């Protein structure tokens, strides 16, 4: 028998408004993203350094996308395989032609409707883009973020910014400055703290080098919204070989908490949690619809009530996984969500986080 525990949020900055930590001898500064901090961040980017900054999706780890040695530092800081390509962020539509070739009417229709916003377009790359940025591919992934801080930083830096999520490779993506520090403290030059990110899951990656276009990663812009503009749109098959060929980043377990993650339908949730507890496991649960029976407080069961609204759910998703890890649970049991709209992106992240683990679907 279990009782529901409410888990609190942690602050991302201390009472002086800034936060710095030491990891060995190196220090990563965290600054509230005011004008002076953005200027300092832009100087770091221009000098070939690394800055984490908020976008509307998650925090990104940015470097000058056209500077090969700067981009290399991203892979090293994140421990990301060098063949997993980065998304390049721009502030003005004019920057697109610097990066991509074959910009068709279809591209303009999409950018007019969805940029700035959480849609990444994969297009043939120009010679200006180092192959390190694109993981050796001859295509480049480009996006114009809607977050004002992100666009200001790109503008002030005077270059497109390559920015994958600012986490260690394979971990849940960071939606606060504190999450960035948890993973990258001491490995990067600066974190711009702009508060929690409003969408909470990454951008939709759409490959326009094939016809019909293919969604390589579901995200902030839904399949339904893309179909309105493009008509037919394919979704990358979850078959491992197809995914690896089209989108190298999908090959590995991703977004994963330290605990084992089980994705479970509502009907089976209660029974599975009960069995795990009987096995002596410390269990974390992310529940939406199901009711778990309430009983005396327990140090072995932590429950997070996830919102019914899918946008709210997406915003909380990665923070909830990190929170349960902080409670040192052995297993996180997550109730499945419906696969429509943003639910596709949520289930994609949860499946990848559960990869190679026992599935109860």
Residues that bind ligand AMP (CB under 6 A): 84-87, 122, 134, 137, 139-141, 164-165, 202, 205, 216-217, 247-250
The residues, any chain, with a CB within 8 Å of residue 336's CB and separated by 6 or more, are 263, 264, 265, 266, 347, 350, 361
Q: Is 188 left (phi over 0), alpha (psi -120 to 50) or beta?
A: beta
State in angstroms the smallest separation of the CB of 291 from Mg ion. Answer: 34
Q: What gap in Å lies between CA 64 and CA 60, rounded to an integer?
A: 13
- Residue 250 is a binding residue for Mg ion (CB under 5 A): no
Burial class (CB in 10 A: 0-12, 13-18, 19+), 196: middle
- Residue 55 is a binding residue for Mg ion (CB under 5 A): no
Q: Which is nearer to ligand AMP, 37 or 317 (CB)?
A: 317
Q: How far is residue 5 from each of residues 115, 217, 294, 298, 302, measured CA to CA in Å?
A: 40, 33, 10, 8, 6
Q: Which part of the chain contacts Mg ion (CB under 5 A), choosing from 101-109, 128-136, 161-169, 353-361?
A: 161-169
Q: Which part of the chain contacts Mg ion (CB under 5 A), choosing from 43-51, 160-168, 205-213, 281-289?
A: 160-168
Closest-approach residue to Mg ion (CB): 165
- Residue 302 is a binding residue for Mg ion (CB under 5 A): no
- The sign of the CA dihedral 253, 255, 261, 263 is negative
Tell me which of ligand AMP, Mg ion, none is bound by residue 141, counting a contact when its beta carbon lies within the kind-specific cut-off of 5 to 8 angstroms.
ligand AMP
Q: Which is nearer to ligand AMP, 141 or 263 (CB)?
A: 141
Tell me which of ligand AMP, Mg ion, none is bound by residue 306, counting a contact when its beta carbon lies within the kind-specific cut-off of 5 to 8 angstroms.
none
Whether 324 contacts 300, CB under 8 Å: no
Tell me which of ligand AMP, Mg ion, none is bound by residue 137, counting a contact when its beta carbon lies within the kind-specific cut-off of 5 to 8 angstroms.
ligand AMP
State in angstroms the smallest separation of the CB of 131 from ligand AMP. Answer: 11
- SS3 state at 207: strand
Q: Among residues 28, 146, 157, 165, which is the contact residue for Mg ion, using CB under 5 A?
A: 165
Q: What gap in Å lies between CA 145 and CA 219, rounded to an integer?
A: 13
State in angstroms the smallest separation of the CB of 124 from ligand AMP. Answer: 9
């Amino acid at each position: 028998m279990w009782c529901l525990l409410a888990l609190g949020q942690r602050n991302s900055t201390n009472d002086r408004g800034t936060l710095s930590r030491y990891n060995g001898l190196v220090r990563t500064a965290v600054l509230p993203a005011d004008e002076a901090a953005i200027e300092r961040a832009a100087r770091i980017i221009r000098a070939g350094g690394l800055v984490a900054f908020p976008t509307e999706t998650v925090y990104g780890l940015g470097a000058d996308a056209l500077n090969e040695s700067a981009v290399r530092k991203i892979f090293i800081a994140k421990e990301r395989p060098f063949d997993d390509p980065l998304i390049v962020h721009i502030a003005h539509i004019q920057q697109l032609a610097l990066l991509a070739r074959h910009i068709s009417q279809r591209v303009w229709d999409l950018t007019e409707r969805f940029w700035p916003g959480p849609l990444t377009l994969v297009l043939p790359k120009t010679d200006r883009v180092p192959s390190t940025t694109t993981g050796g591919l001859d295509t480049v992934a480009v996006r114009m973020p809607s977050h004002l801080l992100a666009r200001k930083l790109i503008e002030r830096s005077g270059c497109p910014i390559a920015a994958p999520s600012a986490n260690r490779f394979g971990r849940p993506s960071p939606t606060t400055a504190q999450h960035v520090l948890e993973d990258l403290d001491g490995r990067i030059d600066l974190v711009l703290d702009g508060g929690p990110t409003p969408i909470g899951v990454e951008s939709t990656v759409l490959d326009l080098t094939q016809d019909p276009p293919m969604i390589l990663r579901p995200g902030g812009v839904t399949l339904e919204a893309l179909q309105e503009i493009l008509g037919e749109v394919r979704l990358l098959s979850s078959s491992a070989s197809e995914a690896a060929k089209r989108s190298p980043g999908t090959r590995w377990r991703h977004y994963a908490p330290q605990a084992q993650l089980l994705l479970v339908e509502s009907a089976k949730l209660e029974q599975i949690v009960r069995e795990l507890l009987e096995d002596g496991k410390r269990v974390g649960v992310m529940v939406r619809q199901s009711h778990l029976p309430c009983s005396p407080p327990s140090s072995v069961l932590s429950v997070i009530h996830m919102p019914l609204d899918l946008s709210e759910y997406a915003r909380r998703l990665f923070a909830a996984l990190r929170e349960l890890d902080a409670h040192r649970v052995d297993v996180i049991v997550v109730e499945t969500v419906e696969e429509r709209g943003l639910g596709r992106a949520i289930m994609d992240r949860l499946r990848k986080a559960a990869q190679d683990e026992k599935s109860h679907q």
